[in-house]
Structure 1
């Protein structure tokens, strides 16, 4: 198993979502980094976020953010 740059971009975007509340989302502005914009579109296409420019995490996204948090925590040691 290997992570490619597209996956890493998606991980990084997921990590930007607030974890303190399911009612908070993010907005990706049109002048944002192209990798961030493309990652948001891919996450939307996969059903992980509810809008191609960020929005809120779907149920799948909420599950994944927990895994991203665990990975980040484990690899930060």
Structure 2
């Protein structure tokens, strides 16, 4: 799997939903074209309810669960020495 900047943008936007962010989001509040494009791609993939952000779909919530598990595996807490 190739990790390109577009995928990073989508993961970053998805993480904003998972980090206790708003229940609904409007990406047009953010003037960054990469954020708007990421939302449009995520909508096309069925992860969010509108191309402007909206809310997570069931698939979007499932994606967050997988993403959080992966991040927890890659970034375990430090153990005391």
TM-score by length of 2: 0.79
Larger radius of gyration: 2
- The gaps in structure 1 that reach 5 residues or longer are none
State the match for 1:3 in structure 2.
3
Contact 1:30 1:37 in 2 (8 A): no
Superposed CA offset, 1:32-74 (max 9, x none): 2110000000000111100111110011001001111122223
Q: Relative contact order (alpha carbons < 8 A, sep ≥ 6): 1 or 2 greater?
A: 1
How far does residue 9 in structure 1 lie from its aligned partner after superposition? 0.6
What's the C-alpha RMSD, in Å, of the aligned pairs? 2.2
**Count of aligned pairs between the two proteins:** 76
Distance (Å, rounded) in 2 between the aligned partners of 1:19 and 1:35: 20
What secondary structure does 1:2 align onto? coil
- The gaps in structure 2 that reach 5 residues or longer are 77-81
How far does residue 31 in structure 1 lie from its aligned partner after superposition? 4.8
